[in-house]
Amino acid sequence: MTQTIPALFLADAPGLDFLNSVATPLDAAVDWLEDGEGLLSWLQQAHLVPEDVLHAIRERAIPGEMDRLAGQVRALREWFRSFVRERKGRPLTPEDLAELEPLNELLQRDERYSEIVAQPSGDASMFTFVPKRRWNSPEALLLPIAETMARLICDEDFSHVKACEGPSCTLLFADHTRGHARRWCSMALCGNRAKQAAHRRRQKGMEA
């Protein structure tokens, strides 16, 4: 079923937010991609697919089709998680490219094109050149996800891809802070828990 808890977008990198679509924000694991409706909701929250496209694909899908697609997306997520976790904290090398062949094969399915469209009234230029994508089947929903993965690989320094230091946290993030000193997925989540735990330890030390 679709999760009522809003998805987490804390990673400062959409490709890592995709990996964080399964997490333990409280006490139990939550998978925002557990079924077809969950996948559509997550894509909407991530702003990866226009809402009208999601609505049209939902309307056209045959029974069970979106759930099967969600299973493919979960498998893609776990394959990519292995790649990222094995290489986080160090720069990527040319040798890593061989492991990315499944992602390149997926990217080759893309049906992108561009179109001249009118600008909103009042803009200085009357027309603009807009990249678009053909959404011919539900499987096309894999492509914007694949693009976020590819951009993570090409645009991020993997030396600064980190795992949250929270003891039970599985979230990953790109550390864009000055000095690259970020330790937590979020100060509101694991950062606060760490502060509270440190405070309790100090209190026990004072009582001893």
Instruction: Flag whether 154 is in a domain.
Output: yes
Residue 122 in tokens: 């009042």
* The predicted structure's pLDDT at residue 176: 96
Structural domain for 81, as ranges = 14-108+138-207
The answer to whether residue 8 sits within a structural domain is no
- Evaluate whether residue 152 is within a structural domain: yes
| Residue 2 within any structural domain of the chain | no
Residue 81 placed within a domain:
yes
Please report the pLDDT score of residue 89 as a whole number.
97
How many CB atoms lie under 10 A from the CB of residue 104?
A: 11
Per-10-residue mean pLDDT of the chain, 208 residues long, equals: 83 98 84 97 98 97 97 98 97 96 97 91 79 95 98 97 91 96 87 58 58
- Please check whether residue 132 is in contact with residue 32, taking contact to mean a CB–CB distance below 8 angstroms: no
**131 lies in some domain:** no
- The token pair at 137 is 């089947």
The domain spanning residue 103 has which CATH number?
Answer: 1.10.3300
Number of domains composing the chain: 1
